[in-house]
Structure 1
Amino acid sequence: MLNLELLLSFLGASFLIAVGPGPSNAFLMAQTFANGRRAGLHCAMGFALGGVAHTLFAVVGLSALLKASTTAYTTVQYLGACYLAYLGIMTLWQSWQQNAASEVCDDKPHVQLKKQSPLFQAMMTEVLNPKVALFFIAFIPQFVDPTLNTSTTVQLAIFGLLYPILAFPVDCTYIYFGDKIASYFKRNPSAQLWIDRLTGLIFIALAINLLL
C-alpha cells in the first residue's frame, strides 16, 4: 500500500519536526501553563483536528490554491494573526479583570470569566496558519510513490493523517513537563496572574511571528 522505505523516512522526519520547538509547541505550552494539563490535552487534540483539516485541504487542492495565490495566502495569514492577537488581548484583559476583582474584595470568590475551549482555539490557530498548509503540500508529497498501485491521492491522505497521529504523543510529552513546571510556579498565589499575562504575550508574539 505504501513504500516502506519512504514510510520510515516520513516517520523519522515527522518525529523531528514534531519534537522541534515551534509556534505550535509554544501555543501548547502557554495553554498548559495558564490552564493546566487538561487544557493542554484539549489543545493537542485541537492541533490534531487541524492537521486532519489540512490533510483534507491538501487532497482537494485548497493548499495548492494558497501556494499559487498571493492574495489567498495573505488573507488566511492575516486572519490567523488577528485570531492569535485576539486570544492574546483577551487573555491579558481577563487576567487584569481577575486581579482587579481580587483587590476589590479578597473575601469573595474570584470572578471566573468564560474562556473559549482550548481545543477550538488550537484547531482554529492551526487551520488559519497558511504555513501549515504549505507544509502539508510541500513536505508530504515528497514521500508519495507514484509507481504504486495505490493512488497518489490516497497516499497523500494516509501520510497527512499519520502526521497528527505521530505528533499527538509528542505534544503530550510537552504537556506533561509543562504542567510540572506550571505547578511549581503556581505555589505562589500571584503566579497564576503572571502566567496568564505571559500566555497573552506569547499569543501576541505568535501573531507577529505569523505575519513576519
Structure 2
Amino acid sequence: MVIMVGELLVAAGMLAVVTMAPGPDMAVVTRQVVSGGRGDGLRTTLGIILGLCMWGALTALGLSALLAASPTAFTVVTYAGAAYLVHLGVRSFLDSRHRDEAPADAAPPRGGNAWTVGLISNVLNPKIAVFYIGLLPTLAPSALPTQWGMALLVAAHLVLTALWLGGYVLVLDAAKHFFARPAVRRWMDRIMGSVLVVFGVRVAVNSP
C-alpha cells in the first residue's frame, strides 16, 4: 500500500509537470480568452478535456498504439494538427486587423466555436497518443492491473488539466480590463498568432 501511494505521488508529479508545461493547449486557451472572454476559455478547456478523453479511450482500446506504430498515419495526423495551429494563428492576425479597422464601440471578433477549437486542436495532436502509450505505462502503480493503472492515470491527467487550464482562464479573466484595451487586444492577437504559428511549424518540422 505504501509503495503504491509513493508510485502514485511520483506519477502525479510527472503528470503535473507535463500538464503545466507551456504548449499548444495554453496558447489556444489564451487566444480564446483574449478573443471571447472567460466563457470561451472555459469552453475551450472543456474541448481539450474531451480530446484527452478520446485519446484515453483509444489508448485503452489499443488504437492509439496502432497510430503511433504507423509512420504514415502518425505523419498525416501530425501535419493536420500543425496546419490547424497555423490556421488559428493566421485567424488571430486577421482578428487584429479587424480591430484596427473596426469602430471603437464595435463588438470584438469572437473566438469561434470555442469547445470545438479545443477539441480539434487536441484530437489532432498524435503526440498525446505517444505520451499515453509511452509514458503512462511506466508510471502506472505496479500493484494494479495495467488497464486499471492506466485508467487511473488518464483520469488524474484529466483532473490536472481541468484544474490547471481552468485556473489559467480565471487568471486571464481577472485581467480582462487590461485585455479590453483595443491596443492590448490587437497586440495580444498578434503575439498569440505568432505563438500558434510557431507551434504549428515546430510540430510539422519535428514530425518523423
Task: Classify the TM-score, shorter chain.
Answer: 0.7 to 0.9
Could you tell me how far apart the structure 1 residues matched to 2:174 and 2:26 are? 16
Residue 184 of structure 1 corresponds to 178
Could you tell me how far apart the structure 1 residues matched to 2:171 and 2:161 are? 16
Residue 169 of structure 1 corresponds to 163
Consecutive unaligned residues in structure 1, runs of 5 or more? none
Residue 75 of structure 1 corresponds to 76
Is this contact kept in 2: 1:47–1:123, CA < 8 A?
yes
Bigger shift: 56-65 or 189-198?
Answer: 189-198
Residue 200 of structure 1 corresponds to 193
Q: Is 1:211 matched up with 2:204?
A: yes
Is this contact kept in 1: 2:136–2:153, CA < 8 A?
yes
| Pair 45,84 (structure 1): closer, same or farther in 2 beyond 3 Å | same
Q: Please state how far the C-alpha of 1:23 moved relative to its aligned partner.
A: 2.7
Is this contact kept in 2: 1:29–1:40, CA < 8 A?
yes
* SS of 2:182 mapped into structure 1: coil
Count of residues in correspondence between the two structures: 204
Structure 1 residue runs of 4 or more that deviate by more than 4 Å after TM superposition: 111-115
Alignment of 1:52-67 (within 5 A): 52-67=53-68
* SS of 1:21 mapped into structure 2: coil
Is this contact kept in 2: 1:43–1:118, CA < 8 A?
yes
Q: Please state how far the C-alpha of 1:44 moved relative to its aligned partner.
A: 1.6
TM superposition score normalised by structure 2: 0.84
Could you tell me how far apart the structure 2 residues matched to 1:21 and 1:91 are? 19
Q: State percent identity of aligned pairs.
A: 28
Larger radius of gyration: 1
| Pair 50,124 (structure 1): closer, same or farther in 2 beyond 3 Å | same
| Pair 144,115 (structure 1): closer, same or farther in 2 beyond 3 Å | closer
Consecutive unaligned residues in structure 2, runs of 5 or more? none
| Pair 125,52 (structure 1): closer, same or farther in 2 beyond 3 Å | same
**Which among 151, 159, 175 is matched to residue 157 of structure 1?**
151
Q: Is 1:121 matched up with 2:122?
A: no
